[in-house]
A and B are shown apart, each in its own frame.
Chain A
Amino acid sequence: MSNLISEPQSDSAIFLNGVSVRYRLPNERIATLKEYMIRLIQGKIRINSFMALNDVNLDVEKGEIFGVLGRNGAGKSTLLKVISRVLIPTLGRVWVNGTVSPLLELGGGFHPELTGMENIHLNATLLGHSRKEIKQKIPEILDFAEIGEFIEAPLRTYSSGMVARLGFSVATAWTPDILILDEVLSVGDAAFAQKCTQRMRSFRESGATVLLVSHSVDTVRSLCQRALLLEHGNVLEIGSASEVSNKYHNMIFGK
């Protein structure tokens, strides 16, 4: 179970070596500068730390669908943040080969006053795409999102399903090398959900690596080859998806 490899391999997509994240929590929450200054003068700043991730080693191969299981607060989101470059780890090394696309929690970065079309441009540039690339993808995005003539209307006139479809279409218009799926996708009606599943499948076929984060044992068991179980920031187990799923199941419901 221990990971003896200290360098990423040629077929690695994601490689973590001894990664720890320590959040510093002031023991009484100091949220204002005023309070901070007062306490600084009084010499009353004590800081407790909290390990969100503790010495995590991980090697995900290219093209793998890898599951991450764990309870709320086990460190799943922190793990994703570290991989998607949002958080620099306190200790250890994170190595990622290729583009990482987190499926934005649907609609993040949208503006209600802009039209659908304007929002496509805004959202796609937030994901790091250039104007030229976006232009090429517009027909495909429109086709997939099924917004119709509403695309020139402000987003505030959209139904929540339309917003979700638009967000999903923009986020998945480009095939990333590594796709991060946080929790289960619920994007509107059954027909669209099927389109989404299809798109996921085509990503997999094109060789993309998928990191699937879930509470659901069934999802991980049916989609993933391997999985990882986190608890209090520690890796409890890395192994085949069915093994890890069983362990998680037992952990939650008792043996």
Chain B
Amino acid sequence: MDNISTPSRSAVYDSSKQRNSAIEELRSIFQYRDLIFQLIRRDLVTRYKRSVLGILWTMLNPLGTMIILTVVFSRLWNMGGTYPAYIITNLIAWNFFSQTTSAALNAMLWGSSLFQRIYLPRTSFVVATIGTGLVNTLLALVPLVVIYLVTGAPFRATMLLLPLPMLLLAAFALGISLILSTLVAFFPDVAEMYPILLTAWMYLTPIIYPEDLLAKALGGWLYRLNPLYWVIRVFRQVMFDGEVPTLAGWGIATGIALGTLMIGWLLFTQKSNSFAYHV
């Protein structure tokens, strides 16, 4: 029984047997699933258990940003009384993306000292940050419900579809995280550049203002080149707009999310063997 659970046990390692690293990593990450669980647990415990305000902050953060944006912007574009609900919906999707990708970068930097000494599936830290992000998002749904209640934004049946856009968002974030992690292993300054990129990315995605405003400013199609736009769109459609995305809408979002994940996974696993060569 225990030779299933300990990956390296009784195994013969032979560096001359070249295996497909992308598939090998997939198998490895499954064998180390308890590690993923422990890493998520570590992140959550250190954030929430040790500070009373921890859980509260996760909820207050999108709430605070939403209030500021509402006060500042609600007069600029006429969104009516549900503008706060619109913002907080987008913010929750955006926060998940920006926080998991940033955390993945830091996890890679933290983990590199361990990678130098013991064998671990190299994707484990990145995968764990996505798991942590999903739990945080679950908590952030509490202020969302409050804001919907306060502003009178309707609760729709389509909200039950939420797991689907969440899954797409997670796949997309994991793909981007893997690409970033590969880059940061070779060039540490990527960690410094990414926050700037994120700021630009946020303004190029309809998060805090309505979509048609961005369309007007950028030309009718330019903003559609932004892959994140499509993924966040299905999220907002089921949560805020109360519509079921069209088949094309689902198709584009799924294609982008899974495509990004695949590119990230292949790139990362092809390059991860040479990480240890770059001290």
Q: Would you call A93 an interface residue if the criterion is a C-beta within 8 Å of the partner chain's C-beta atoms?
A: yes
- A128 near B117 with CB under 8 A, answer no
- A86 near B6 with CB under 8 A, answer no
| A-contacting residues, B10-45, CB 8 Å | 10-16, 31-32, 34-35, 37-39, 41-42, 45
Contact with A along B89-100 (1 / 0, CB 8 A): 000000000000
- B45 near A125 with CB under 8 A, answer no
Given the interface contacts A102-B118, A113-B46, A132-B2, does A121 sit within 8 Å of B190 by beta carbon? no
Whole-angstrom CA separation of A99 from B42 in the bound complex: 26
| B-contacting residues, A114-159, CB 8 Å | 114, 118, 121-122, 125-133, 154
- A86 near B189 with CB under 8 A, answer no
- A95 near B2 with CB under 8 A, answer no
Given the interface contacts A108-B113, A113-B46, does A130 sit within 8 Å of B14 by beta carbon? no
Closest to A95 in B: B14
- B residues engaging A (CB < 8 A)? 2, 5-16, 31-32, 34-35, 37-39, 41-42, 45-46, 50, 113-120, 183, 186-190, 193, 273, 276-277
Given the interface contacts A24-B277, A122-B38, does A88 sit within 8 Å of B46 by beta carbon? no
- B119 near A84 with CB under 8 A, answer yes
Whole-angstrom CA separation of A114 from B38 in the bound complex: 11
Can you pick out 9 interface pairs between chain A and chain B where the beta carbons lie within 8 Å of each other? A84-B117, A88-B15, A95-B12, A97-B12, A108-B114, A125-B32, A128-B8, A130-B34, A133-B6
Whole-angstrom CA separation of A84 from B114 in the bound complex: 12
Contact-size category for A: 35 or more
- A128 near B14 with CB under 8 A, answer no
Looking at the assembled complex, report how far the CB atom of B191 sits from the nearest CB atom of chain A, in whole angstroms.
10
Q: Would you call A94 an interface residue if the criterion is a C-beta within 8 Å of the partner chain's C-beta atoms?
A: yes
- B42 near A122 with CB under 8 A, answer yes
- A86 near B190 with CB under 8 A, answer no
Given the interface contacts A86-B118, A111-B46, A114-B45, does A128 sit within 8 Å of B6 by beta carbon? yes
| B-contacting residues, A145-186, CB 8 Å | 154
Closest to A123 in B: B38
- B118 near A104 with CB under 8 A, answer yes
